[in-house]
Structure 1
Amino acid sequence: MQGNLNEIDIRSILQLIELGQRTGQLLVRADNFHSSNKLSGDEMIRPQHFHNCKQQSWFVFFLNGQIIYCQEGDSSLSEINDYLRHYRVEMRFEDMQLASLGSLNAAEYGYIWALLERNIINPKVARNIIHGLVHETLFDLLSLHEGSFIFHQSSALTPQLTTLEIAPLVAKIAKQLQEWKQLYPHIQSPDQLPMLADTVQLNSSLPPETVNKLKHWADGKTSLRQLARYLNRDILTVAKAIYPYVQQGWLQLVYSSTTNLTKSPQNLIVEENYRARIVCIDDTTTIGETVESILRPQGYEAIALTNPLEALSLVFQLKPDLILCDITMPELDGYEVCAMLRHATAFRLVPIIMLTGKDQFIDRVRARMVGATDYLTKPFGDTELIMLVEKYIKKA
């Protein structure tokens, strides 16, 4: 399995691997850019601001559809040492030992096992480090829109210390990414470096203990990502903790001259032109065309699907923000489609609105029983549809 990320997104790729219970490794590549200039706070970061194009890559290792480990392609083992700092482990291997680790398929993973075998860390600490690395890698990957991927089915990474279920992990991180976007433009990337900007206001407004902590961590040399590792917290928690101080202008965030600014694209760009995606599943072509003609001028991406069987597989690739589904259809009726989607973790929280030609109490009850969010009686007008959609989708 291979392709481009503009054809299928990372979330869908992970779901396919999970559903197929695949074992092997996924390689994801994205074009990256470096910048030597600090951008102004209100300037959107775009590729034209960068030079010295370099390709960034990540590996994700699977066993029977679950994640064993994630690793950045050009890892230097420094990420592991960042996590070890939290556990006050100062152990460093000799150069020769590190060189032998570098020959392994996953050097970081070999490093963790070497630490385990020498009783420098225990299994619980090792699992925590792996969970942290998997989380931060998926945080970066889940909103990549450009690049390529290839999944190679092969024997599993051994030995295994832990496995992580994809669906709940992806759902959790996707929710965090939505919250992360709310911090823009004050916080843009996990690779930004916090530094003190107004010590007078800090000293007069905050307790001495808090000021001392900020002075210790906000040194202009330590990135938000590193802070998260040192403190054993996820990146969103760290960012939200300092957000009020950045907003007040007491702290400022800068980029290192060597920072890879597009390492985490979702953290750099809030897509002002993002359009919520709405899928309409209805075997009547005119209904689909009507929905498209009403919603597209309102700024939504509307997609009509007329075959319910094909729609079930397509929605996993399309990842809609809302689904409109007709009740009366051949082969599969709307109740069955809704029930099947609700059994998939990816669609447990997606609004599903049933379209019905009958306004009867029993239809509403049955729709609720299979997990429908709401219903809309046909025929419907522009205002009815738009109001219902806006009820469940907040425009950016």
Structure 2
Amino acid sequence: MQGNLKEIDIRGILQLIELGQRTGVLFVEIDGSDNGKKFGVGNALGSDAKSPDCPQSWFVFFLNGQIIYATNGCHLSPLSDYLRHYRIKERLEDIQIPLLKSPSIPQYEYIWVLLQQNIINPVQARGIIQNLISETLFDILSLYDGRFIFKSYPTLTPLLSAWEITPIVAKMTVQLQEWKQLYPFIQSPDRFPVLADITQLQSSLPRTTLKKLQLWADGKTSLRQLSRYLNRSILTVAKAMYPYVQQGWVKFVCSVTNNDTIELQNSIPELEVDCKARVVCIDGEREIAEAVELTLRQQGYEAIALTDPVAALSQVFQLQPNLIICNTAMSPLDGYEICKMLRNSTAFRLLPIVLLVDAREHHSPIKAKMMGATDCLTSPFGNTELLKLVERYMNYSVIGDRDRGTTLVDPIQYRVKNNITESASLNKTSISN
């Protein structure tokens, strides 16, 4: 099976592979010499073919109609970026691997060698592969032109896991639809964010948030790379930056060779990062948990997302948070049960616990109070509601946290201006999306 993407789109090809329970590899290629063929007019993403991290070909591997691996070429930089998230210091170039069985996919061989040498664990390996699959589909589902070939190919061995096509394609399709809403402020995941208005940033943002933006928008890291470093989707990271881009405080550039960009970055004084109050968000929906985490980190909090309600019970004892946000709609433990269990512990008897409840369930606030919740937040909600609620229950008087040796900062001193807070609550960046 082969052809042109003008004749049949990627969704149709993937559907045929799934229905036929095919085993093989799908190769997608665009003409790198013509920017309009990839991520140009008529595509969801915009990009620059000169970008070193901008793929021109993709491989998707299937076993019996399920995706087992995907990659955006033969280079190792994506894998290195994901390893950076796990703070793995070994360089791939220094790792000896056996003779590659498949020269076109060295990433897969390296993942298994990393597993065998206990440099990464199976959970991390599956997470990396799933991220590579999502990133690849995010790219190819936006193409309107290009060539494709699907042919039989021996299954990759050893096999770590497999993913059903329909759910992951549906998820990426939604992300691409939301990505279009960021246009024209954010056009390409392969462009580089830089700080543009230092005066406004310094006067309007907390020092911790500004320090984060210094690290993120350094003019040397593309949005795509940044999403890998943070282990977040490209869309999630783009949404976190969107309010600042709207204000003109952050901009995206095509090249990192601009001397003005370097001077701009060097003009910002180094800031000491204040230790932050710790917020734990427990939510079985990964997208919601990650959105809450990024929104709070953006405002200077140390936010941690937990998606396994059972494991979260033991983790919160180790994390010792200052506030817990927990969704009621989870299984096998829901938020009500988690709240009740935590209240039975002396360590969490007085800790603020906020439950996320469904607006359609009118009895939820009463049930939440009966289980010991401090307050409720009705879902869907925006960033402004979330930040106001968190600020209400955090202990912000300037005190020393002796257990952690940290200092909590008065938010009034570093509060974000209303225009940024309000822009963050737009439906384009709403957590309810």
* TM-score between both structures, scaled by the size of structure 2: 0.54
1:131 alignment partner in structure 2 = 130
The yes-or-no answer on 1:68 pairing with 2:42 is no
1:310 alignment partner in structure 2 = none
Question: What per-residue deviation string (whole Å, max 9, x for no partner) do you get for residues 190-211 of structure 1?
Answer: 0010111111101111111101
Q: 1:94 to 1:207 in 2, by over 3 A?
A: closer
Structure 1 residue 186 displacement after superposition = 0.5
Say if 1:4 and 1:146, in contact at 8 Å, map to a contact too: yes
1:31 alignment partner in structure 2 = 31
Q: 1:214 to 1:160 in 2, by over 3 A?
A: same
Say if 1:33 and 1:51, in contact at 8 Å, map to a contact too: no
The yes-or-no answer on 1:109 pairing with 2:103 is no
1:322 alignment partner in structure 2 = none
Question: What per-residue deviation string (whole Å, max 9, x for no partner) do you get for residues 219-253 of structure 1?
Answer: 00000001100001000000000000011010110
Structure 1 residue 100 displacement after superposition = 4.3
Question: What per-residue deviation string (whole Å, max 9, x for no partner) do you get for residues 124-175 of structure 1?
Answer: 0000000111001000000211111111113211111111110010011001
2:79 alignment partner in structure 1 = 80
2:409 alignment partner in structure 1 = none
Say if 1:69 and 1:134, in contact at 8 Å, map to a contact too: yes
Counting only pairs closer than 5 Å after superposition, residues 231-246 of structure 1 correspond to structure 2 as 231-246=230-245
SS in 1 for 2:218: coil
2:186 alignment partner in structure 1 = 187
Percent identity between the two aligned chains:
63
Q: 1:96 to 1:214 in 2, by over 3 A?
A: closer
2:20 alignment partner in structure 1 = 20
Question: What per-residue deviation string (whole Å, max 9, x for no partner) do you get for residues 35-58 of structure 1?
Answer: 8xxxxxxxx9999x9899x99211
Say if 2:194 and 2:252, in contact at 8 Å, map to a contact too: yes
Which amino acid letter does the alignment assign opposite residue 112 of structure 2? W
Structure 1 Cα separation of the partners of residues 199 and 69 of structure 2: 45
Structure 1 residue 33 displacement after superposition = 4.1
2:200 alignment partner in structure 1 = 201
Q: 1:50 to 1:111 in 2, by over 3 A?
A: closer
Question: What per-residue deviation string (whole Å, max 9, x for no partner) do you get for residues 16-69 of structure 1?
Answer: 00000000101111112478xxxxxxxx9999x9899x9921110000000000
Structure 1 residue 94 displacement after superposition = 4.6
Structure 2 Cα separation of the partners of residues 45 and 84 of structure 1: 26
SS in 2 for 1:61: strand
Question: What per-residue deviation string (whole Å, max 9, x for no partner) do you get for residues 235-289 of structure 1?
Answer: 000000000001101011001269xxxxxxxxxxxxxxxxxxxxxxxxxxxxxxx
Structure 1 residue 104 displacement after superposition = 3.3
Counting only pairs closer than 5 Å after superposition, residues 220-231 of structure 1 correspond to structure 2 as 220-231=219-230
The yes-or-no answer on 1:118 pairing with 2:146 is no
Say if 2:45 and 2:188, in contact at 8 Å, map to a contact too: no
Structure 1 Cα separation of the partners of residues 75 and 153 of structure 2: 24
Structure 1 residue 180 displacement after superposition = 0.3
1:57 alignment partner in structure 2 = 57
Structure 1 residue 121 displacement after superposition = 0.2
Structure 2 Cα separation of the partners of residues 132 and 77 of structure 1: 14
Structure 2 Cα separation of the partners of residues 245 and 84 of structure 1: 28
Structure 1 Cα separation of the partners of residues 65 and 14 of structure 2: 8
Higher relative contact order (CA 8 A, sep 6+): 1
Structure 2 Cα separation of the partners of residues 248 and 120 of structure 1: 42
Question: What per-residue deviation string (whole Å, max 9, x for no partner) do you get for residues 93-145 of structure 1?
Answer: 45683694496342100010110010000000000000111001000000211
Which amino acid letter does the alignment assign opposite residue 177 of structure 1? L
Question: Which 5+ residue runs of structure 1 have no aligned equivalent?
Answer: 36-43, 259-396
Structure 1 Cα separation of the partners of residues 46 and 82 of structure 2: 31
Range that drifts further, 142-151 or 234-243: 142-151
Instruction: Specify the structure having the higher radius of gyration (Cα).
Output: 1
SS in 1 for 2:28: strand
Which amino acid letter does the alignment assign opposite residue 183 of structure 1? L
RMSD over equivalenced CA pairs, Å: 2.7
Q: 1:207 to 1:50 in 2, by over 3 A?
A: closer
Structure 1 Cα separation of the partners of residues 132 and 151 of structure 2: 21
